[in-house]
Amino acid sequence: MEFTYETSPARVVFGRGTVRTALPDEIARLGADRVMVVTGASHQALAHASVEPFADAVVSFFTEVEEHVPVAVAQRAVARAREARADLLLSIGGGSTTGTAKVVARELRVPILAVPTTYSGSEATPVWGTTREGRKETGTDPAVRPRTVVLDPDLTDRLPRDLAVGSGLNALAHVVEAHWAPGANPISSAMADEAMRSLASGLRGIGPESLARAQAPEKALTDPVSVWAGSPTAAGELLLYGAYLAGATFASTGSGLHHKICHVLGGAFRLPHAALHAVLLPQVLAFNAPAVPRVAARIARALEAEEAVSGLRGLAASIGAPRTLAQIGLLYRQLDEAIDRVSAALPVDNPRPVGKNEIRAILTAAYGEDAG
């Protein structure tokens, strides 16, 4: 057996209420006295409440976060941090918020303390990314990996169910692909198995069958995970735990075909990031599974299914995940352009050879019946 496994030191604080009880100590531990808070518009109230115990150390708020981190937004964030002479970035939000902080960290070499509010897992990786004129640029830099991560299930439990489903499947995509990504190794695969089991269990906890146990099903669009799940503590904690493990796994293995497609389509057509992963993951797994039967069997076991592809599709169906690109906003007239854009981004490491014809087959299947 021969392999290489590389990781970076990071401090993780996990527990309910930690954004209130642990955050002040973690700020002090990092020795920061000029904190810039990076957060989105929907989390401003949470951010202001979270920093009250150390408000004197907060020198600026940056709230212009946008999905896929447009270059112009990233540049404004860098300018704000430079002007404020920030010595720490406190990121409170989802993957785009963490991603914005990462670009600042890359430019100014300022550490990040991340408080995620979704299951994106970005807080566990050294990967950064921006978009310019529909094209996404990504890279890795150890300086952008958050120095400390505070994981509070009380925050992620506030996600509306549709976002929880999409974000959870986004995390699942990290660990499905981790088995054949360029840096795959026995340690990362073991982490991927644990992450997959936790994510699948947590997602089942917010499936439609749990709606019968919810006290107010008519509030389905606004109720958080804790209302949808019959056992909110277990479901929410499993999801956040699995999501962090998934991000850490992704950090050591890198990405492959699935993430290449998602990055290209997300940047070019401004499709919702988490939902895009949910739609494409079963299609990419179906394409690759015949080439990696042992991996497919391992994925099936982690999903507690007879077979990997049907198990993943069954899980997605049971939680009401989006199924097609048409559902999440790609127009039929854009399908050929999508195929061309993804094909232009090849080659990519993958268990099976992949060219334009294979991309056409994957995206046509992902588009839905109207593309047939």
Q: How far is CA 330 from CA 257, 272, 278, 354, in A?
A: 19, 10, 14, 22
Give the residue among 304, 168, 173 at the shortest CA–CA distance from 237. 168
Q: Tell me the pTM.
A: 0.88
131-143 as b/e: b if 16+ CB within 10 A = beeeebeeeeeeb
3-state SS of the chain is CCCCCCCCCCEEEECCCHHHHCHHHHHHHCCCCCEEEEECHHHHHHHHHHCHHHHHHEEEEECCCCCCCEHHHHHHHHHHHHHHCCCEEEEEECHHHHHHHHHHHHHHCCCEEEEECCCCCHHHCCEEEEEECCEEEEEECHHHCCCEEEECHHHHCCCEHHHHHHHHHHHHHHHHHHCCCCCCCHHHHHHHHHHHHHHHHHHHCCCHHHHHHCCCHHHCCCCEHHHHCCCHHHHHHHHHHHHHHHHHHHHHHCCCHHHHHHHHHHHHHCCCHHHHHHHHHHHHHHHHHHHCHHHHHHHHHHCCCCCHHHHHHHHHHHCCCCCCCCCCCCCHHHHHHHHHHHHHCCCCCCCCCCCHHHHHHHHHHHHCHHHC
Contact criterion met (CB below 8 Å) for 131 and 270: no
Contact criterion met (CB below 8 Å) for 79 and 103: no
User: Cβ–Cβ contacts within 10 Å for residue 330, how many?
Assistant: 24
pLDDT in tens, 326-372: 999 999 999 999 999 999 999 999 999 999 999 999 999 999 865 55
Please state whether the peptide bond connecting residue 272 to the residue before it is cis, i.e. omega within 30 degrees of 0: no
Residue identified by tokens 């890198």 is 254
Cα(140)–Cα(51) distance, rounded to whole angstroms?
A: 29
Q: How far is CA 263 from CA 138, 228, 338, in A?
A: 9, 30, 11
Residue 4 CA to its chain's centroid (Å): 25
Q: Which domains does the chain have, with CATH numbers?
A: 11-156 (3.40.50.1970), 161-371 (1.20.1090.10)
pLDDT in tens, 67-84: 889 999 999 999 999 999
User: Cβ–Cβ contacts within 10 Å for residue 111, how many?
Assistant: 19
In the prediction, which pLDDT does 215 show? Answer: 37
Residue pLDDT tens, the chain, 372 long: 787 777 777 899 999 999 999 999 999 999 999 999 999 999 999 999 999 999 999 999 999 999 889 999 999 999 999 999 999 999 999 999 999 999 999 999 999 999 999 999 999 999 999 999 878 898 999 999 999 999 999 999 888 888 888 899 999 999 999 999 999 999 999 999 999 999 999 998 876 554 344 334 444 444 444 444 434 567 889 999 999 999 999 999 998 999 999 989 998 999 998 899 999 999 999 999 999 999 999 999 999 999 999 999 999 999 889 999 999 999 999 999 999 999 999 999 999 999 999 999 999 999 986 555
Give the residue among 12, 195, 167 at the shortest CA–CA distance from 95. 167
